[in-house]
Structure 1
Amino acid sequence: MARNLARILGGCGSLVPFMKTPACPPRNSSSIPPARTLVQMLFSKSRDFSLPNSSWGEEMMRLYEFYNGQSDVETEGEENQGREWKRLPSYNRSLKYATGGVYLSKIIQSKARLFTRNIREPGAAFEYVLFINKEKERCVCVFQAGHLLEGPPGHVHGGAIATMIDTVTGTHASAISAPVMTANLNIDYRSPIPLGSTVLIESTLEKTEGRKLYISCKVTSTDGSKRHTDATALFVSISVAHLLKG
């Protein structure tokens, strides 16, 4: 079993031409783990950061339960069961969505981490969960801003807000036409977001033109009474080969 898996992984270097070093260790290397370890890494599950943890506040939990009560978890190949929303899982690397991604993540730039998921301390930075409604072409994110995201004293940094807008609209666009790259992002900041507070980030698909997807976005208080930010985004769908070339 280990020998067969070693043969398979031995060809990984050709799949990632941008790497400067071989993606996999030599076949006869003592660093190749035993068969049982390989299988465990290949099929083990990653931590889903979109699930509740002890840092989530009351409002974060309330909104999570509201949308989660109307949703299913998005899984590849699974048909819509008629529910309005689908919860999107979130990992510390996008690569982990792929089949065998847990193992691939260990051999392709193993130290890389998704920017919004690179802090281990719960509640310190980006706490969020996304739900998508493909029929209505909408996406909603429940976002709780941690203390490490400070910009103006006591409030969230504008760059952190822009990061979340790009994350939400980009995830929305990817769900429609994966994969995509951000081509343009315009943001109007209206009122500051207090650190530790929970807000809603909602995106709507406005139109598509060939490979281009135009999406609008707004950031509001959870009751909708305050508008924090407005944004528009343009994404362009690309091929996987183009993504690998860099």
Structure 2
Amino acid sequence: MTHESHRVQMARSLGRLLKGFQSLTSLPAMRAQRSHPSACVPCRTTVALPSLFSFKPRDFSLPNSSWSSEMMRLYDHYNSQCEVEAERGETRGGPWQRLPSYNRSLKYATGGVYLSKIIQSRARLFTRNIREPGAAFEYVLFVNKEEQRCVCIFQAGHLLEGPPGHVHGGAIATMIDNVTGTHATVLSGPVMTANLNINYRSPVPLGSTVLIESSLDTKEGRKTFISCKVTSTDGSKLHTEATALFLSINVSHLLRGG
């Protein structure tokens, strides 16, 4: 077997595995509920599925000791809307859903350990690669499928400094790409960023908590257009605004470089 044939076979195997993951994204993440009863779980997300894990991973979207009181307040606000009380005291799914977040994807999924060794066994999502809580990217995403909106509560740690006392523009761009990309994936399935246009309006103070909100503009075939803004938590200050274009992809192309 030639080297190119081997890569194509690997790509097809990965494509079949991830297609199977997509079909299971509506399963309830029971393990996440047991570890944090107040947290709600999404119907679909690009991260690995807790119900498929062979051992318990860390969900980085859950509160930790580094979260500020403002971040906890906002987390409780949106998390309380993940379930609403129905008739006779029963609960049902609310308008918002929290998206769990892990520092790896394939490695924790059934069968993924083998693929992760083939691709890059030490690969990690870099926004979740800092061990010290609160040092860099602290964030949690909630999605509202009916309104086609996504909101991220983001707290920037000291390792993200750019201008003295403020967050580096590249870190802000990273979070915008992360939020809009996740939102586009919820709306359209696997996607890749085709264009990201960012306008910086006001610097974000280091250590502060801000809201990153995205909304669907339109979908045209393989194209998903998203708008995004970064604001203070009370909405009084606009820090950044952006537009993004994502293209739906066949995941097997990732290994073939196509």
TM-score (norm 1): 0.77
Residue 188 (1) aligns with residue 199 (2): yes
Give the equivalent residue in structure 1 for 2:128.
Answer: 117
2:168 is aligned with 1:157:
yes
Equivalent of residue 65 in structure 1, options 51, 57, 76: 76
Q: Find the residue that maps to 1:166 and give its secondary structure.
A: helix
CA RMSD of aligned residues (A): 2.4
What secondary structure does 2:194 align onto?
strand
Task: Look up the SS of the partner of 1:208 in the other structure.
Answer: strand
The 2-side partners of 1:64 and 1:208 are apart by: 29
Alpha-carbon separation, structure 1, partners of 2:213 and 2:133: 23
In structure 2, what is the Cα distance between the partners aligned to 1:234 and 1:46? 31
**Aligned counterpart, 1:244:** 255
| Cα drift, residue 216 of structure 1 | 0.1
Contact 2:82 2:93 (8 Å CA) reproduced: no
SS where residue 132 of structure 1 aligns? strand
Which residue of structure 1 aligns with residue 60 of structure 2? 49
How has the CA–CA distance of structure 1 residues 15 and 45 changed in structure 2, closer, same or farther, with 3 Å as cutoff? farther
Once the two structures are superposed, what CA deviation does each residue of 1:87-135 show, in whole Å capped at 9, x if it has no partner? 0000112335744446754664121111211111100000000000111
Residues 116-166 of structure 1, C-alpha deviation per residue, up to 9 Å, x if partnerless?
111111000000000001110000000000000000000000000000000
In 2, Cα distance between equivalents of 1:137 and 1:145: 26
Note the C-alpha offset of 1:240: 1.6
Distance 2:147 2:108 in 1: 24
Aligned residues of 1:88 and 1:132 also touching (Cα < 8 A): yes
Residue by residue over 1:25-82, the C-alpha shift from the partner in whole angstroms, topping out at 9 and shown as x without a partner, is xxxxxxxxxxxxxxxx96112110000011000001110111111116xxxxxxxx44
Whether 2:218 is the aligned partner of 1:222: answer no
Instruction: Tell whether the 8 Å contact from 1:42 to 1:100 is kept in structure 2 after alignment.
Output: no
Counterpart CA distance in 1 for 2:193 and 2:164 is: 30
- Indicate if the aligned counterparts of 1:17 and 1:245 stay in contact, CA closer than 8 A: no
In structure 1, how many angstroms separate the alpha carbons of the residues matched to 2:254 and 2:189? 11
Q: Which runs of no fewer than 5 residues in structure 1 stay unpaired?
A: 1-12, 19-40, 73-80
- Residues 1:167 and 1:122: Cα distance change in structure 2 (over 3 Å): same
Does the 8 Å contact 2:216/2:226 carry over to 1? Answer: yes
Provide closer, same or farther for how the CA distance between residues 122 and 105 of structure 1 changes in structure 2, counting only shifts above 3 A. Answer: farther
User: In 2, distance between residues paired with 1:155 and 1:101?
Assistant: 39
Partner-residue secondary structure (3-state), 1:120: coil
Identify the match of residue 183 of structure 2 among 157, 169, 172. Answer: 172
1:44, 1:102 within 8 Å by CA — same for their partners in 2? no
Q: Which runs of 5+ in 2 are unaligned?
A: 1-7, 14-51, 84-91
Q: 1:9 matched to which residue of 2?
A: none
Cα distance in 2 between the residues matched to 1:241 and 1:100: 16
Aligned to 1:8: none
